Amino acid sequence: MVPVFTPSPTLLSSEDINLHFIDVAFGGGNIFLERLPLSTRRTTVSLNAGRDSDRKTIESFILKFNYLSQSNKLFENTKTGQSGDIRIKFLPPDGLKAIDLSYEIGWLNREFSCNGVTCAKVRGYDIYINDQIEGDTRTHYLLRALLYTLGFKGDSLRYPDSIFAYPENNATSLSFLDEKAIQVMYGLGMDNGMTVEDVKRVLFFR
């Protein structure tokens, strides 16, 4: 099945695409690109305590990601439990509150809040989602947290339709610019550990 992609808006230039990528790839203190290291092995995703609808959301995203990526690929079938390379677990609010984000590479971890409530936490390749959130909010933070583990540490202040829009939004699908950001991040010119200047040299001088 071929995923549905967002049509291109008018009046967007390649510079708009590149600047959006820099916004959403660098943020929260990361000075290096933190995408998945280049590998021919498919990265697996596991789901613990989620619903069938959560699994469908993840697998629909994986299908689109694999079409957009020229390098790394994700395994299409979501595992059950905690055995994946990227591990997603739904927790009650008290359990989510107990997740400590300060250990080890704390500056790469993140807490996502919505309406004053913690909706998700990301610690390395472990994603914890509030099991009380519903609807578009649930879908949004599931996707946003998954994208965070894939290297999209920043936010967009320019485009309110972006899934990366700051401060809060309930977007449940990637905008045209978000799709382009994945294409850039997982294109053949990018690699884990590149600096902003390295990225700019690839984007603006090729």
pLDDT digits (tens, 9 = 90+) for 168-180: 889 999 999 999 9
Distance CA 20, CA 164 (A): 10
pLDDT at 30: 83
Domain segments of the chain as ranges: 14-204
Distance CA 100, CA 145 (A): 16
pLDDT at 11: 77
Which residue, 102, 120, 151, 123, is CA-closest to 50?
120
At 29, is the pLDDT very low, low, confident or very high (cuts 50, 70, 90)?
Answer: confident
Residues 6 or more apart whose Cβ sits within 8 Å of residue 154: 22, 23, 24, 25, 26, 27, 28, 164
At 160, is the pLDDT very low, low, confident or very high (cuts 50, 70, 90)?
Answer: very high
pLDDT at 105: 65
Distance CA 34, CA 71 (A): 15
pTM above 0.85, yes or no: yes
Amino acid at site 48? N
Q: In this structure, are residues 71 and 37 in contact, taking their beta carbons and an 8 Å threshold?
A: no
The pLDDT of residue 10 is above 80: no
Q: In this structure, are residues 48 and 158 in contact, taking their beta carbons and an 8 Å threshold?
A: no
The answer, yes or no, to whether the previous bond of 93 is cis (omega within 30 of 0) is no
pLDDT at 31: 87
Give just the sign of the alpha carbon dihedral 114, 117, 120, 124: positive
CATH code reported for the domain at 14-204 = 3.40.390.10
Which residue, 117, 112, 129, is CA-closest to 57?
129
Do you know the residue count of the chain? 206
What tokens were used for 87? 């591990």
For 98-113, the pLDDT digits (tens) are: 999 987 665 679 999 9
Count the neighbouring beta carbons within 10 Å of the beta carbon of residue 165: 20
pLDDT at 53: 97
What tokens were used for 39? 């590998």
The pLDDT of residue 206 is above 60: no
What tokens were used for 89? 């677990």
What tokens were used for 159? 């485009």
